[in-house]
Structure 1
């Protein structure tokens, strides 16, 4: 495990992602904030930092009114693909994808995403499923699960 250090960049070579990270907190209703536009991705500051014991969480948009978002191709990741997270302390831990799942929004796997784990994990979240015009959002979430394979 690694000591805490704020994440500042996420790179996912398999899908061409290279994004700065912004800090995300909680909204008034208790749900996680989302980045304000298609870019950048954001790190949820209520979770461990990437490399620490527990599940670090990074969220990003699949698309935006201006086109594809930072996590447009997130659902295309495969088991074993690498995710690198640059941290403020100069380290860049490397994570490997262990699962890519899609869940209806009303069946979001909260415990699996945010719950305690016995290793340094990473969760990437974006929207998925179909666009529901009546409520103006997607019907599902794509969640990528990854584990630390190399401390930075």
Structure 2
């Protein structure tokens, strides 16, 4: 499918592409299924609102590392774009502890919606975002940036969507304040078919450590 210009970041429009459920599917999961988010961790009334206490937007700087203390994530971040089919690419599945930032959008901490993706598992076992479904509202996400600064985010909600009903605009849409989305596979697993959907973590910037 051909790419179009995005109304929210000036980048390639992910919402125009049928990418849901196919991004991070791995057929190598042989152990226990990844944790599923509780309905209590989703948006109570289904509405997403700008975070009233969101931190001051930061200048652009490429993310280099992500830390999520609550689930033990401490991983490098690489750049990802779109694959040959116009789908959101993923980090190499040869490295389980690696996340990917969509370089066509804003950098984490800038005003707007930044996207970070990661595998839930690979053929060799659980991967970087295996535990996303175990997060809770209020948990912290830190993203170190190439300029030496760190953006601090707080989780607002964790939701799971079936691949046939993935809300493109809800996940990727324009934000008036600095927002972050973490995306991986979830929603149940079927042998031979892979994961049925995606887990999405919504977070907003709470503050930052300035560049050195």
Which band: TM-score by shorter chain?
over 0.9
- Equivalent-residue separation in structure 2 for 1:5 and 1:112 (angstroms): 24
1:120 alignment counterpart: 178
2:154 alignment counterpart: 96
2:60 alignment counterpart: 4
- Higher relative contact order structure (alpha carbons within 8 Å, sequence separation ≥ 6): 2
Report the TM-score when normalising by structure 2: 0.69
- Equivalent-residue separation in structure 2 for 1:139 and 1:71 (angstroms): 16
Question: 1:3-152 counterparts in 2 under 5 A?
Answer: 3-37=59-93, 38-135=96-193, 137-152=194-209
Report the TM-score when normalising by structure 1: 0.96
What 5-or-longer segments of structure 2 have no aligned partner? Answer: 1-56
Highest Rg: 1 or 2? 2
The count of residues paired between Structure 1 and Structure 2 equals 151
CA contact (8 A) 1:62 1:68 kept: yes
> Which stretches of structure 1, 4 residues or longer, exceed 3 Å deviation after superposition?
none
Shift of 1:79: 0.5
Shift of 1:87: 0.2
What 5-or-longer segments of structure 1 have no aligned partner? Answer: none
* Per-residue deviation, residues 78-108 of structure 1 (Å, max 9, x unmatched): 0000000000000001000001000001211
